[in-house]
Amino acid sequence: MQDASPPPGHDLQYEHAALGLSDAQVLAALRGMIVARTVDDRLWLLSRQGKAHFVITSAGHEATQFGCAWAVQIGRDYVVPYYRDMALVLALGQTPRDIFLHALGKAEDPASGGRQMFGHFNSRALRIVSGSSSVGSHPLHAVGLAWAFRITKETDLAAMTFFGEGATSEGAWHEAMTIAGIHQLPVVFVCENNQYAISVPQAREVPVPDVATKAAGYGMPGMVVDGNDLFAVYAAAQAALARARAGGGPTLLECKTYRLRPHSNADDDRKYRRVEEVDAWRARDPITRLERYALHSELIDPAGLADIRTAVVAEVDVAIAEAERAPNPAIESLLHHLYGE
């Protein structure tokens, strides 16, 4: 594994201004990433309290997900996430309250009215399409959407789909890549490579060091990027989506990152990951890196950063309280959307 010691100063690859990003956008992303991590922390506690049955968190993936969200035309492009994309859907416009309603199975859950297991994010208004529980199958949905654009002759929009590196060993993923490559469809495939397919390390799941090298076999470019560098992810995602919207075809974008928590609340990662490895990656925490950048670039001072954290905790507290008070689905609705009901 690479040396994960945090370098001094602001260690992100690009200056934000060079990418056309304003100071306000950087601070909004920083706040949003802190919100995502705080929601993540509370979801973990809710699961330990027995209030949330199943939780999969996005801790460690925030830069990849926010960087890609920056490049999306929100409400126009279609986004097909996977179960670890909680930070992504927050970046696209869902709220902490939406997430807690979903996790607690409440009637007002915007994803499914409390009927889906956690991680099946969905929003018609934001064009977030619910993924599938079968690993690696939902990229087919993104390809189908892109094929529909071709049929209806819609232009200047794309589909973007997300998955872990383990999904690239699934047959459905191969089919999605094949069809997208043959027809040069406007799809961006984003691999959030966090080194483990649940407990199986990449070396035993993927036969090449970089998933992006697989792209050549499907007639599309592949790009590797530091998934903990918000600006590097944005630059790569923006280029890939612009290419897709302009008719240039699909791209496979591999974002190298790491999950800072177990696979889910049902997993014990101590059985397959060394503490030293996890600690080394914690030193590369994408939120800490962006905080360091913002401070070094004088976009904010320590007091301002502390104010953000205090305000976020209060916001999340309110969201949890509202979600816990919200009604459960009515018993009479049990068979809705099933068997013709």
Tens of pLDDT, residue by residue, the chain (341 residues): 333 333 444 578 778 999 999 999 999 999 999 999 999 999 999 999 999 999 999 999 999 999 999 999 999 999 999 999 999 999 999 999 999 999 999 999 999 899 888 999 999 999 999 988 888 899 999 999 999 999 999 999 999 999 999 999 999 999 999 999 999 999 999 999 999 999 999 999 999 999 999 999 999 999 999 999 999 999 999 999 999 999 999 999 999 999 999 999 999 999 999 999 999 999 999 999 999 999 999 999 999 999 999 999 999 999 999 999 999 999 998 888 777 66
Q: Which pLDDT score, from 0 to 100, does residue 9 have?
A: 45
Question: Are residues 231 and 12 in contact, defined by beta-carbon separation less than 8 angstroms?
Answer: yes
Residue 324: the pLDDT is: 97
Residue 221 lies in a domain: yes
Phi/psi at 338 (5° precision): -120, 135
Question: Which domain CATH number covers 71?
Answer: 3.40.50.970
| Separation CA 166–CA 198 (nearest Å) | 8
Q: Confirm whether 105 is domain-assigned.
A: yes
270 in any annotated domain: no
Classify residue 334: in a domain, yes or no.
Answer: no
Range of the domain at 224: 19-260+299-324
**Residue 114 backbone class (left: φ over 0; alpha: ψ -120 to 50; beta: rest):** left
As for how many domains the chain has, the answer is 1
* Distance, CA of 101 to CA of 118 (rounded, Å): 10
Q: What region, left, alpha or beta, does residue 160 occupy, with left being phi > 0 and alpha being psi -120 to 50 degrees? A: beta
On whether residue 292 sits in a domain, the answer given is: no
Q: Is residue 332 part of a domain?
A: no
CA dist., res. 334 & res. 70, Å (int): 38
CA distance 316 to 200: 33
Using only the alpha carbons of the chain, give its radius of gyration: 19
**DSSP SS3 for 214:** helix
DSSP label at residue 93: T
pTM above 0.85, yes or no: yes
pLDDT of residue 12: 80
Is residue 10 in a domain?
A: no
> So what's the pLDDT on residue 7?
40
Integer Cα distance of 172 and 160 in angstroms: 16
CA atoms of 248 and 215, how far apart (whole Å): 15
CB atoms within 10 A of CB 62: 32
Whether residue 65 lies inside any domain: the answer is yes
